[in-house]
Amino acid sequence: MIIYLLCYLTISILLYNFEKQKHQKLVVFLCIMILSLLAGFRDVSIGTDVEIYANPVYLAASKVSNAKELLNYLFHSPLHTINEIESAYLFVAFIGTKVFKSLFGTLFLTSLIINTGVFVGLYRIKEHLSYNIAIMIYCFMFYQNSYNLMRQWIAMAIIIFGIKYIYDRNLLKYVITVLVAMMFHRSAFIGIILYLIALYIEKPRNFARQVVVVVSTILGVVFFQSIVAALTSSGILTMKYLKYAVGDSVSLFWQELAIRMPAIALCLVLYKPMKKYDEHHVFWFLMLFIEAAISQLHSVMDFATRIGSYFLVSRIIEMSMACKIGDMKNRATIKTLVMVYAILYWFVMYIYFGYGNTYPYVFM
């Protein structure tokens, strides 16, 4: 626990009064390196996916000695059929293995890509949020989760990097971003939904379109099984999608709602001033709602976590945006509430319940 806290404390000190710092990019680089090195030096037992595919991929990459073997490793490896690992991740693992000659290289380079995508992506929209708070939310709530679902977290980080294109309404660049993300995890196609919803509710902006998104989300969750069955029987979806169904009906997951309610409640209380402060608040609040709704699919769908993960950034953006509301005293109060929530989340999820098998930290 101490090693995580020391790293997070160091980052918080580096980011203190970030808006007034002259060397912001250097500070961002140092923060990225701290988290990436921490991820790289961890033991294979830290993070459930390390033993599942990161270490096997490293062992396979270490045996590659020429161009022919590299092509076979990237495009014809049994890893594709056994673990469905995308070639882009295999290439990253290959580079890490050959440069550092150890599993450290794969874990470090993977985390470096993830952290760079998150830090730089949020930096590109820093005028819309409190950057130092956004990063601390990521550290306490999501960084250790990136020790698992590593391929998907790379894809998610690339999507976060591309959020600027949603703000700029640059469809071409955003689609390219999504395509690059899909090279690391095919589920990244979900990222295009963010752009489509933003386009739908904000041009033209009206309450009726927001209601349509909310009602559609609720109905989609409630009738999820029936929708999947209908799409499968009609041939729109293949039978393989049925393997993700694990129940007959959607059940209410109170624990999933409970861990999200502080963020939703805060942004709901501050809804009007946040809407006045930033025109994109409505969009991100709806993303917050959608992510919470998707969390209720755990009773019928193993894939729910992967789908909902692409909306997690809404929690970072909304809570850090809330910290920009009001006068100095008001902002200080909101920042305190946000950080208390983030730290409690970290302690309960990662330390007490041991989510993702990241605690206690063990060096390799």
Residue 363 lies in a domain: no
pLDDT at 82: 46
Contact 71, 77 (CB under 8 A): no
Domain count, the chain: 1
Query: pLDDT per residue over 24-48, tens digit each?
Result: 999 999 999 999 999 999 999 998 8
Which residues have C-beta within 8 Å of that of residue 277, sequence separation ≥ 6? 321, 324, 325
Residue 364 lies in a domain: no
Residue 278 lies in a domain: yes
CB atoms closer than 10 angstroms to residue 237: 15
Question: Which residues of the chain have a pLDDT value below 50?
Answer: 81-82, 246
pLDDT at 113: 97
Query: pLDDT per residue over 294-351, tens digit each?
Result: 887 766 565 667 788 889 999 999 999 999 998 888 899 999 999 999 999 999 999 9
Residue 251 lies in a domain: yes
Residue 156 lies in a domain: yes
**pTM for the full model?**
0.89
Residue 362 lies in a domain: no
The percent of residues above 70 in pLDDT, for the chain, comes to 86
CB atoms closer than 10 angstroms to residue 232: 16
Contact 131, 18 (CB under 8 A): yes
Q: For residue 164, what are the domain limits? A: 2-357
User: What whole-number distance in Å separates Cα of residue 70 and Cα of residue 91?
Assistant: 9
pLDDT at 172: 95
pLDDT at 83: 54
